[in-house]
């Protein structure tokens, strides 16, 4: 098996298609923003925060999001959003990432002082300024930097998640919790479609995030139908805390182009309802369906290890079977701060723990670019992907990597 050096991993053009803005701040920026806004954090220095909230491992998927209450609290201003978006792109570029697709739930960040459009404009401007600066500075023969934004609806929230959700819940006091969740999701879908139609903000997709267990994708079917009419792309967090049926819902009910995590895709023991097929056949057919449509799985290794206590070693991660089944997969960080990771770390982990040939690695890289929700017209996307792969080949040759 060919060894891939850290220098090679760093140099090759990469994507991060699954990275949460509010989970990926620099820790120093979080502390600084909190101080400026007069918001108190559970600790005032990096070591303290790492000990209390941004840990190396979490007890479960429920403990993992605790830190988001702090990060979203400091992000509710245009300056803060601009800054973290700009820094996120710069930190990624320093690792050789050429394209990021940044996601977040706008309704967690909106307030009376900050409208949906202002949130989106601030993030877009931060990413845009970083991209333009990077493109001006890069050598001419290297591929261009670019970005997209994905808006996340929440599978679950309560009134205390944000000022917006508080107001929304208060205004719908006669609605059930499910109706409130579906309603806020549909409102976001409308906002996203209008933003896409009337601005040049690089909004490219819609996502469903948050607690999966007990909060089915079907509550968001109307939202996904609406964003499809607006020609936006669709991804769904699925199979992270729930089994194959959740992934089935994402790809059939919500017509997802990509799946966030997909960790439990092969877990027949997590099938709860009865189906036409026996569990083994159900999973085989589902995997085939996903493979044939090139529905891409956004794999987040570190994050899954941290939130899934049953997953004892990385070698047991379903990424192995995804590779065996020739699925379209891309490596992502999920949350750089909350998971204490980076894209180069994720590649190192993947290459050290799974049988990945030079050919496989190039495919994984290519899927990231090809299956991105690239904002610009398709001919431009084709030329850009071609330039990325040519550049990859040059680097592979330079580093003596043989396919
Ligand atoms: Zn995620």
CA of 111 to the centre of ligand 1 (A): 23
Domain chopping of the chain, boundaries: 6-230+334-398
CA of 22 to the centre of ligand 1 (A): 11
Return the HEC string of the chain: CCCCCHHHHHHCCEEEEEEEHHHCCCHHHHHHHHHHHCCCCCCCCHHHHHHHCCCCCCCCCCCHHHHHHHHHHHCCCHHHHHHHHHHHHHHHHCCCEEEEEEEECHHHHCECCECHHHHHHHHHHHHHHHHHHHHHHCCCCCCCCEEEEEEEEECCCCHHHCHHHHHHHHHCCCCCHHHHHHHHHHHHHHHHHHHHHHCCCCEEEEEEECCCCCCCHHHHHHHHHHHHHCCCEEEEEECCCCCHHHHHHHHHCCCCCEEEECCCCCCHHHCCCCCCCCHHHHHHHHHHHHHHCCCEEEECHHHHHHHCCCCCCHHHCCHHHHHHCCCCEEECCECCCCCCCCHHHHHHHHHHHCCCCHHHHHHHHHHHHHCCCCCCCHHHHHHHHHHHHHHHHHHHHHCCCCC
CA of 141 to the centre of ligand 1 (A): 33
379-394 pLDDT per residue, tens: 999 999 999 999 999 9
15-24 pLDDT per residue, tens: 999 999 999 9
CA of 304 to the centre of ligand 1 (A): 10
pLDDT at 1: 66
CA of 50 to the centre of ligand 1 (A): 20
pLDDT at 240: 84
Q: Which two tokens stand for residue 180?
A: 């409130």
pLDDT at 180: 96
Sheet holding 296-299, edge to edge: 14-20, 97-104, 146-154, 203-209, 233-238, 258-261, 296-299, 329-331
CA of 298 to the centre of ligand 1 (A): 9
CA of 395 to the centre of ligand 1 (A): 30
Extract the residue ranges of the chain whose pLDDT is less than 50. none
pLDDT at 61: 65
CA angle (136 as vertex; 131, 141 as ends), nearest 5: 105
Distance CA(109)–CA(164), nearest Å, equals 8
CA of 237 to the centre of ligand 1 (A): 6
Q: Does domain 6-230+334-398 have CATH number 3.20.20.140?
A: yes
CA of 260 to the centre of ligand 1 (A): 6
CA of 137 to the centre of ligand 1 (A): 31
Distance CA(197)–CA(164), nearest Å, equals 23
CA of 11 to the centre of ligand 1 (A): 25
CA of 300 to the centre of ligand 1 (A): 8
CA of 16 to the centre of ligand 1 (A): 12
pLDDT at 57: 78
CA of 291 to the centre of ligand 1 (A): 21
Give pTM, 2 decimals.
Answer: 0.96
Nearest to 340 by CA among 311, 370, 300, 303: 303
CA of 402 to the centre of ligand 1 (A): 34
Nearest to 205 by CA among 221, 182, 224: 224
CB 171 within 8 A of CB 187: no
CA of 103 to the centre of ligand 1 (A): 8
94-141 pLDDT per residue, tens: 999 999 999 999 999 999 999 999 999 999 999 999 999 999 999 999
């Amino acid at each position: 098996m060919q060894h891939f050096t850290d220098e090679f991993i760093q140099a090759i053009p990469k994507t991060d298609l699954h990275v949460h803005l509010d989970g990926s701040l620099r820790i120093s920026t979080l502390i600084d923003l909190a101080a400026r806004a007069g918001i108190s954090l559970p600790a005032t220095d990096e070591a303290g925060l790492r000990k209390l909230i941004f840990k190396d491992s979490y007890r479960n998927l429920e403990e993992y999001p605790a830190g988001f209450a702090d990060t979203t609290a400091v992000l509710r201003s245009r300056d803060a959003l601009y800054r973290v978006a700009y820094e996120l792109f710069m930190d990624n570029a320093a690792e050789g990432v050429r394209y990021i697709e940044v996601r977040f739930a706008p309704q967690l960040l909106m307030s009376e002082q900050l409208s949906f459009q202002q949130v989106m404009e601030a993030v877009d401007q931060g990413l845009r300024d970083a991209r333009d600066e990077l493109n001006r500075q890069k050598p001419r023969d290297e591929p261009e930097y670019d970005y997209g934004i994905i808006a996340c609806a929440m599978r679950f929230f309560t009134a205390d998640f944000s000022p917006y959700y508080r107001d929304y819940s208060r205004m719908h006091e006669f609605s059930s919790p499910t109706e409130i969740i579906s309603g806020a999701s549909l409102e976001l879908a409308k906002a996203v479609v209008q933003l896409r139609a009337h601005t040049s903000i690089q909004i490219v997709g819609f996502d469903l995030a948050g607690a999966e267990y007990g909060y089915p994708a079907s509550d968001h079917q109307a939202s996904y139908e609406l964003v499809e009419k607006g020609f936006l792309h669709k991804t769904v967090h699925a199979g992270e805390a729930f089994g194959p049926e959740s992934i089935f819902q994402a790809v059939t009910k919500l017509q997802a182009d990509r799946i966030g995590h997909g960790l439990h895709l092969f877990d027949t023991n997590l099938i709860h309802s009865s189906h036409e097929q026996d569990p083994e056949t159900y999973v085989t057919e589902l995997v085939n369906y996903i493979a044939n449509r090139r529905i891409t799985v956004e794999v987040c290794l570190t994050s899954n290890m941290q939130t899934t206590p049953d997953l004892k070693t990385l070698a047991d991660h379903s990424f192995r079977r995804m590779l065996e089944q020739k699925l379209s997969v891309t490596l992502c960080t999920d949350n750089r701060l909350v998971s204490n990771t980076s894209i180069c770390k994720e590649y190192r982990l993947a290459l050290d723990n799974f049988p990945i040939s030079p050919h496989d690695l190039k495919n994984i890289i290519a899927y990231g670019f090809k299956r991105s929700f690239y904002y610009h017209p398709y001919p431009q996307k084709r030329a850009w992907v071609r330039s990325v792969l040519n550049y990859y080949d040059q680097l592979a040759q330079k580093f003596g990597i043989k396919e």
